[in-house]
Structure 1
C-alpha cells in the first residue's frame, strides 16, 4: 500500500490549521492526475471543499476533512510540520484526525470499479463545526450513502477497525440569570443573579440523560455544567450571571433544558448544535461491516462513537451514514498524534471493497 502511505505523508506534511488551501491543492491535483473523475473545487471558506465523482446510480460517498487543529510546539519545526515514521506508525498533526484516512479513501476511490456513483469528499472546517459540509449541503443534494472516515479503530479490540452506526451530537448552551444589583451590605435589597443561576444549575443536575438504541447498540447522552461567570466586585450583589452547559445529544432526543426557566429571571439559548447520527440502513451498515471484516484478520463490530462528526450533518439531510476510519481513541488532537500504517491499509481495503460490492444484490 505504498501509494496510501506516501500520500498520507504528503497530506500530513501540508499545514492546514489556519488556511486549508494548500492541503486542498494537494488533494485536487492528485485526483486530477491519478483519476478520470469529475473533480470540483467549490468556494467554501478556507480554500474550498474537494468533491470527485465517477460511475452512476445511487451515490456512495467516502467522506473526510483536510483541516486540522493547531499543532503543538513539538509538531512544528521552523514553520513546517514535523512528520516521521516509527514502529509502523505515521506521526504528525492530522495523521489520525484525519489525513491518513483521507489518503486511504482517495486511493480506494481511484482503484474502485463501482456499480454505483462513487463520490469522494474532503471538506474544510470540520473542526469549526462542519463549515465545509454545511456549505456543500446548502448547494447540492446529499449523497444516498456515506462512509465518514473518522476514527473507529480499537473500539472493541485493539487494532481492529470497527463500524460506527451511531454517534452522539453536541449542544452547547448558555443559561442567563438576571437579578437586581444592590450593595452587598444589604443583600435583601437586591436579587442575587448568582443564586438564581445556582438554582438553575440544580435543575440541570436533576435532568435525565436521554438514551436510545440503534441497531442493538445503546447511545446514552449527558448534560454537564462546564462554566459559570457572574459578579463584578466583592461588595456588589450581582445582577447578571451566565452558566455554560455541555450536552451530548442522541438521535431524536434532547434533554429538557427549558426546565431552567422555572427559576425566576432565568432564560437560556443554544450556542452550538452539532447533530448526532444514526445509520438508517441496516443493509448499508452490514455491507460496510462485511467489507471491514474482509479487510482484516480481526472481527469488527457495529459500535457507537462518543464524538460528533460531519456524519451528523449528512444524516440530517437523509444520508444513510456510518463512520469507519483509522484513528484510535486518544490519538486525535494530541502532541504525539499518530496513525498505524497497517490500519490505513485496512481502511483502503474496506473502502475499495465496499465500493465494488455496493449495491448488494440478492440472488
Structure 2
C-alpha cells in the first residue's frame, strides 16, 4: 500500500508510454452508434493482461466488467464508458475504413474520445491490471452513456452494485488550469415536453376554436417564473436551471392551432426539483418527462477524503473538492446506492468538440491516482 505522497516513480515512468499507447489504440476504434469493436478491444486486453487473476464479463448490453481481489470484501469500481458522440469529419480517417484520427502534439492527444472518455478508460484499465486491491476491485466500461446511460442502467438492473466508485469523467481544470480535482456532486438533466391542446378553427372565426398556442404561452410564463433549485455542496452553490428551448405549433397562417408543444431543459441538483408539474394545473396542458438523468452527491466523506488524498499526492498543486455542471453515469450509480466521486483527465470545454484533446501528463496522473485509491481505500 502506498503512503500519501509516495507514488512509485517506476510505475509512473512505465505509464509514460503505456497509457499513451493504450489510449491511442482505444481512441482509434470507431464507437459512435456501434461500440462493439471498442468493447472487443477492452475485453481482449483485459483477458490478455489480467487473465486468470480476474473475472471478466461482457453483458448483453455490451458493457465490459472485470473484477479481482477479495469477492467477500466491499467493492470499489473504476468506471468509464467507451461510446462517443458523432465525430467531426477531420476526426475520421476516410481511407482506413473509418478509423478515428489520433494525433499527438504539444503533450496532448487529439481525437474523438480522447477526453470523453477513452483516455480515462485506458488509465483505469492499467490501474486495474497493476493494483493489489485493498478489497474487491472492479473496472467497468459502459456503452450508451452519451444516449442516457443505457449501459449503466442495464448493469445496475443486472446486479452491478459496487459500494464505491470513481467515475473517470473530467474533473481537471475546475479549481485551476491543469489541476485534477475531485468532483463530489454534479447536476442532472430532466428534459420534458409541455403539450397544449386546443380546438382548430378558421382564423376568420377564431372564437369558434381554442388557441393552443395561447395556452402554451401561459405555460411558458409559468416556467419563466419558477425559481430554479440550488443546494450547497463542497462550499459551492450548485444551481439548477429551467429553460424553454423549443416551441412548435400551428399548421397554417389562417388556422387557429389545436396543438402546441414546448420543450423544457431542466438542470437538476441533488435533492431538489423545480415544480414543473404545476403546468398541468393550466387548462388544456399536459406535461411529459422525456429524459431524466439523475444528479449525484457523495455523502460519504471518508471515501471522498481517501480519493482526495490520492489526488493530492499525485500532483504538485493542491486540488479541491468541486462540483460539475454535467450529468454522468455517477448519477445512475449514486441513485442505486453507490458512493461516487468523479475524477478524470478531461478539462472543461474539451468534450464533444472538433478539437477534442487530453493532456498526456494528466492521463499518467489519473492512472497513478486510480491505482493508489484501489490500494488504499479500505485502510
Q: TM-score range by the shorter chain?
A: over 0.9
Farther-moved stretch of structure 1 (317-326 vs 258-267): 258-267
The aligned runs of 1:261-300 (5 Å cut-off) are: 261-300=280-319
Indicate whether 1:219 and 2:238 are aligned.
Answer: yes
Give the RMSD, CA atoms, in angstroms. 0.9
The aligned runs of 1:128-277 (5 Å cut-off) are: 128-277=147-296
- TM-aligned CA deviation for residue 262 of structure 1: 2.7
Deviations 1:254-285 (A, max 9, x none): 11011112321111010000000000200011
Which of 34, 44, 56 aligns to 2:49? It is: 34
SS at match of 2:344: coil
- TM-aligned CA deviation for residue 332 of structure 1: 0.4
Q: Which consecutive unaligned segments of at least 5 residues does structure 1 have?
A: none
Indicate whether 1:53 and 2:70 are aligned.
Answer: no
Query: Contact 2:234–2:323 at 8 Å: present in 1 too?
Result: no
C-alpha separation in 1, matches of 2:82 and 2:281? 44
Aligned length: 357
Q: Which consecutive unaligned segments of at least 5 residues does structure 2 have?
A: 1-14
SS at match of 2:83: coil
Deviations 1:13-71 (A, max 9, x none): 11100211110111111111111211111111xxx111111112110000000000110
C-alpha separation in 2, matches of 1:125 and 1:323? 18
C-alpha separation in 2, matches of 1:80 and 1:356? 36
- TM-aligned CA deviation for residue 98 of structure 1: 0.2
Query: Contact 2:111–2:357 at 8 Å: present in 1 too?
Result: yes
Give every structure 1 segment of 4 or more consecutive aligned residues whose post-TM-superposition deviation is greater than 6 Å: none
SS at match of 2:289: strand
C-alpha separation in 2, matches of 1:201 and 1:75? 40
The aligned runs of 1:98-113 (5 Å cut-off) are: 98-113=117-132
Equivalent position of 1:322 in the other structure: 341
Equivalent position of 1:73 in the other structure: 89
C-alpha separation in 1, matches of 2:169 and 2:306? 18
C-alpha separation in 2, matches of 1:225 and 1:111? 48
C-alpha separation in 2, matches of 1:187 and 1:300? 63
C-alpha separation in 2, matches of 1:140 and 1:262? 39
SS at match of 1:350: helix
C-alpha separation in 1, matches of 2:75 and 2:234? 23
- TM-aligned CA deviation for residue 115 of structure 1: 1.4
